[in-house]
Amino acid sequence: MSDPDANTAFAVALWDGLVEAGVEHACLCPGSRSALLAVAAAWQPGLTTSVHLDERSAGFFALGAAQAGRRPVALVCSSGTAAANFLPAVVEASLAGVPLIVLTADRPVEARGWGAAQTIDQVGLFGSHVRFFAEAPAPGEGGPGERHAAALALRAVALATGDRPGPVHLNLPFREPLQPNEASLARAGRAPSARRPVVVEAPPAPPAPIVARAVAALRGAQRPVLVAGPLPDADPALGGAVDAFSRATGWPVLAELCSQLRLGPHTAGGAVLAGGEALLRQQDFAARMAPDLVWRLGAAPTSKAWAAWLERHPEARVVGVHESARHFPDPSWRVDEWWRVRPAALLQAVAEQLAGEPHAGTASWRDRWTRADKVASQALGRVAAASEPLSAAQVVRTAVAALSPRHALFLSNSLAIRHADLFVPTSIRELRVLANRGANGIDGIVSSALGASLLGPTLLVTGDLAFLHDLSGLASAAQGPFPLVAVVLNDRGGGIFDQLPIASLGESVEFERLFRTPQSLDIGPLVAGLGLCFDRVSDPIALGAVLEPALAAGRPHVVEVPLDPARQQELQRHALAAVGEGLRAERLA
């Protein structure tokens, strides 16, 4: 047994510290051992809470909310396998650099290893996937108490949001009684008498030696390229810095959609290119446009065409520009040098130092890229507009056109994000693009988008398998007025497998059953059974007509778009062929 006042006071002090350090939302999963944490969270001023029946879904909900809000989100569960269900979201958060504060209640040390119900080894449960792990002592009996709880909370948030953001894990044992003490709860949100340490962080300006090194490197380059992979939490100043850098240097910028650089006012100058995927798939063009220097921002680009382009030009020097000294996203081992510096600060400093210098050579190089990008964009647009019936290309273009800066676009992994990266052009309209590009899995997609919708209206574009994989997330959507619209690209299975080499072997390897995993579930009744709005559309005009009121309604709405996978494959081939024809007509390939 323990002192109920000590238990409650510890939980209250922990939440006091978390909220003071910047946590604004907590995802709570029902449980007995975690009861004090849940009730103390609900009583905490300045903290919003959501309740989730499924810990796996809760983890991805928190992930989406943390991505969209650029702030740490807390996750709470009881002891036992409940905690293990957080693992997929913790892995994604670790690889994507998303701050989560994972709080797992536990039995005290003396109760472990004796066959007690709902008890597993939770010490270090998430291994190397967390930035920090600590187990607090059970409250009471002369332990460190409230000061320790508050300090532990501050430390957890500081490490989750530091130079290498990601999840942290606090394991919190409680002895019975587990019900709260109301007198202690009433202290929630009041400033405690104990003094707390404060962390003050100010991002430093780029060191002068790195700026000098960067300037020297680019002055000798004739065919430089700035490449941006996924940047889920891009510095808001990055777009302007990229524009200033390109104007000062003449560099072209190849940006994936999830880099946050393809959409926004900074694209008005024309330096940011959307057609990198289509252009680099044109062998003649890719060979002609061999780079000699590449600066890469963010994670490694997803495009296989990009990786193949670098492999064909081993003489190109590749520099990774990344804030963290401990994170090296380089699956092809092509980065020659890593610069630990804020990308926006470095690019702006270089632009200011080179202001007024001539860059005729690189400007003509960029001009060839921008001309080719214009050809690609026009060809892709024509093919998408002419496709009948409604295609995935039209869906992603219509989706982006329907959104405003107050919305967010969430893209599912597999084909949805690839269609968007290929067919969505640059635009001066600002739009946040979110995706789980850490581990690149399809699990938890609906839950993540639902979490993102806490911060504002969100449009999810997903495949049918990813949608069905997270039906528990859809069930959570029915519990509140979440402003989420989910567009389901339903090709009746795993259409992305059609693009793999094994697809050519057909039924000799039982391709349909083993890989494409066809499904025939009727999505409409599933959605209706949860009390959610549903539409099925098959033409672009109908899709646009549905999306606008659905986004304005502020409640969950599912829109199914039936697709023929064979037609989608043919459309993509036709689009890439049209890009090649356009380049040859303009003598760019």
- What letter represents residue 100's amino acid? L
pLDDT(283) > 90:
yes
Does some domain include residue 38?
yes
CA distance 97 to 231: 10
SS (H, E, C) 389-445: CCCHHHHHHHHHHHCCCCCEEEECCCHHHHHHHHHCCCECCCCEEECCCCCCCCCCH
- Which of 185, 219, 237 delimits the end of a domain? 185
User: Do residues 272 and 400 share a domain?
Assistant: no
- Has residue 579 been placed in a domain? no
Assigned domain for 577 exists:
no
Q: Is there a single domain that holds both residue 272 and residue 318?
A: yes
**Model confidence at 495: pLDDT above 80:** no
Same domain, yes or no, for 354 and 429?
Answer: no
- Residue 136 in tokens: 């607090």
Q: Exposed, middle or buried, 200 (CB in 10 Å: 0-12/13-18/19+)?
A: exposed
What number of other Cβ atoms are within 10 A of residue 337's Cβ? 12
Confidence class for position 94, pLDDT limits 50, 70, 90: very high
How remote is the C-alpha of 58 from its chain's centroid?
A: 16
With CA atoms as reference, report the closest residue to 576 among 326, 346, 305: 305
* Whether residues 181 and 255 fall in one domain: no
Q: Is residue 309 part of a domain?
A: yes
Q: How do strand 408-411 and strand 458-463 relate by DSSP bridges? A: parallel
pLDDT for the residue numbered 195? 43
Residue 74 belongs to a domain with what CATH number? 3.40.50.970
How many domains in the chain? 3
Helices 565-585 and 392-402: crossing angle in degrees, nearest 10, is 80
331 with 306: CB under 8 angstroms?
no
* pLDDT of 211 over the 60 cut: yes
User: Do both 400 and 518 map to the same domain?
Assistant: yes
Q: Mean of the per-residue pLDDT values for the chain? A: 89
Please give the helix or strand (H or E) that residue 275 lies within, else none: none
Residue 442 in contact with residue 414, Cβ under 8 Å? Answer: yes
For residues 249 and 317, state if they share a domain. yes
Q: Model confidence at 407, in pLDDT bands (50, 70, 90)?
A: very high
**328 belongs to a structural domain:** yes
Residues 124 and 39 in one domain: yes
308 lies in some domain? yes
pLDDT of residue 182: 74
Residues 165 and 110 in one domain: yes
Answer yes or no: do 399 and 536 share one domain: yes
Q: Rounded to an integer, what distance in angstroms lies between the CA atom of residue 73 and that of residue 25? A: 5
* Token pair listed for 308: 């193949």
CA distance 567 to 556: 30
Domain limits for position 339: 208-368
- Shared domain for 335 and 212, answered yes or no, is yes
Does residue 355 share a domain with residue 400?
no
Q: Is 198's pLDDT higher than 70? A: no
The residue ranking higher by pLDDT, 401 or 324, is 401
pTM assigned to the model: 0.90
pLDDT for 125-144, tens place per residue?
999 999 999 999 988 766 67
C-beta separation of 452 from 434 below 8 A: yes
548 and 465 together in one domain: yes
CB atoms within 10 A of CB 267: 24
* Confidence at residue 1, expressed as pLDDT on a 0 to 100 scale: 46
Determine contact, residues 438/93, Cβ cutoff 8 Å: yes
Is the pLDDT at 526 greater than 80? The verdict is yes
Closest C-alpha among 30, 122, 52 to residue 444: 52
